[in-house]
Amino acid sequence: MNMEKQNLTLELGVKSDPIVYRYSFDWLFDLMQEEGVGFLQLGSFFELYFLSDEFFHALKHKANRRNISIASIFSSYRELGGFLSEDTELQRVTRNNYRRLIQVAHILGASSAGSSMGMVLRDHLHRRARSIETFIGNYCELMHYAREEGLEWLTLELMSCYAEPPCSADEACGLGGTLQAYHRAHPESTVNFGFCADISHGWANEKKEILQDNISYFVSSLPFLYEFHLKNTDGIYNETFGFEPENIERGIVDAAQVRAILLENHTLLPVNKIIGYLELPGPKLGRDYTDIQLGRMLRESLKHLRKTFLNL
């Protein structure tokens, strides 16, 4: 399901996070098919890094039977954050797991794989600049590996606190420029780099003062934007939630505004198709009275986004 303007196509998808340990992929694919949504971003789960190739071939087949494309794969936790650590053992495990994430993306036919950078431990923030340098060195190696595996893009998420870079427009532009420059220097042996932005992310400090609002942060990512997460949030980016009727009024994210920003600035974008993935945290996990709410939450949020983001 999409909306086109000039050379830009807007698409709506779903990130799979809220079904984990709650519903099956068959359940999610059926819901997506009924709602006319054809793109999935597979969120990571603990077993993903150890499952056989056959599991993912079967998952791709299940999606294809419903005309759903698993277009992207992205971490759901901070399990790939070891490159920000000075512990070489953590870096080794992160490298191995990231390689498996890339392999899984290839099996599924996804064009991209991504994650957040991770977190610099708060008692190690004095090492933050050095940690970012360590991350970049390791990440550039992965850009080569992803190309060998047939991917087109690696993506990183814009985050919401100083301990999790990038956390500001300036930092995002600096990081994006560095990684895109590396790709341009090695165009035949690396994948491209892009951001998986999140329209609900901004930066508030310890006093809850807004240092970077979510809209200007999102706009700063446009020259590097490959995909993004669609979810709602409050005025200090503390809680995240969906676009159900009970959450529209308390949230600050206007999906129609997001659409307008993308369409009006389409010449800044590095791609001519952008998928916004509904990323619901979902209700409290493991309660008989909460788990059953997920279907309603997904359907109501998707209906709202079809109307506002896709203008259908």
271-299 as b/e: b if 16+ CB within 10 A? beebbbbbbbebbeeeeeeebeebeebbe
Residue 6 confidence class, pLDDT cut points 50, 70, 90: low
Q: What does the pLDDT read at residue 3?
A: 47
Tell which phi-psi region holds residue 36, choosing left (phi > 0), alpha (psi between -120 and 50) or beta: left
> Do residues 261 and 5 lie in contact, with contact meaning Cβ atoms separated by under 8 Å?
no
Whether the ω angle into residue 223 lies within 30 degrees of 0, i.e. cis, is no
Amino acid code (one letter) for 122: R
Q: Residue range 57-68: average pLDDT? A: 98
Q: What does the pLDDT read at residue 11?
A: 98
Could you tell me the residue range of the domain that residue 76 belongs to?
2-308
pTM (two decimals)? 0.96
Q: Residue range 220-246: average pLDDT? A: 97
Contacts of 20 (CB under 8 A, 6+ apart): 43, 45, 76
Q: Residue range 99-111: average pLDDT? A: 98
> Do residues 38 and 1 lie in contact, with contact meaning Cβ atoms separated by under 8 Å?
yes
> Which CATH number is 22's domain given?
3.20.20.150
The SS3 of residue 254 is: coil
Domain count, the chain: 1
Q: Residue range 288-296: average pLDDT? A: 97
Burial of 116 (0-12, 13-18, 19+ CB in 10 A): buried
